[in-house]
Amino acid sequence: MKQYLISLLTYFDPQVQNFFLTHRTSGLLNVALTLSFLGRFYTVMILAVFTILLFWQQQQKIFIVPFFLTIGGSSLTSFCLKFLTQRVRPFGSGYNEPFPSFPSGHATIAIALGGFLVYYLAQTLSPSLFKTVILTCLILLILGIGLSRLYLGVHYLSDVVVGYGIGGIWLLLGIYLSK
């Protein structure tokens, strides 16, 4: 059963990898590198500190612990799974990464951090065109970070999907705790 689930999860990995490899251009490579930069550890830490300060300044301290748990739990889970699975990165990537491939830490943190911001802003902003634009941009950014990892060839589709799943589980826990 375990092998069947793994086979099902990884079935599309080679096709997606080949698609992005054959459609790689220098312009889109730069876009993908920029999006990928937003998921790097130091960038995420700066965004997380800024978000906590925002919660504090907006007198929304109820969100701080759930946010911290969402970010910390998803990052720790992703990091541990990388070293438990030791999955080798795809051949032909746009650049080298020091850690194993599975799951995508960028996808994990994109859904955890970006998803929590979407939740927070959806709860606190009054309905307006501005709110719709901000939420749409955040959702596109979350998707773009995962796509950038595929486009750069540093992850398989299954890495990104599972990363989104891990981040999503922690996000749901954080949302639950903030209520």
Q: Which residues are catalytic?
A: 106, 155
Any residues with CB less than 8 A from the CB of 134 and at least 6 apart, and which? 121, 125
* HSE-CB for 163 with a 13 A CA cutoff: 30
Phi/psi region, residue 97 (left: phi>0; alpha: psi -120 to 50; beta: rest), is beta
H or E stretch covering 158: helix 157-178
Judge whether 85 and 159 are in contact, CB under 8 Å.
Answer: no
Angstrom distances, CA of residue 137 to CA of 61, 63, 65, 114: 25, 21, 25, 10
Any residues with CB less than 8 A from the CB of 82 and at least 6 apart, and which? 99, 100, 101, 102, 103, 105
Give the CA angle between residues 58, 61, 67 to the nearest 5°.
Answer: 105
Angstrom distances, CA of residue 62 to CA of 54, 120, 128: 12, 11, 24
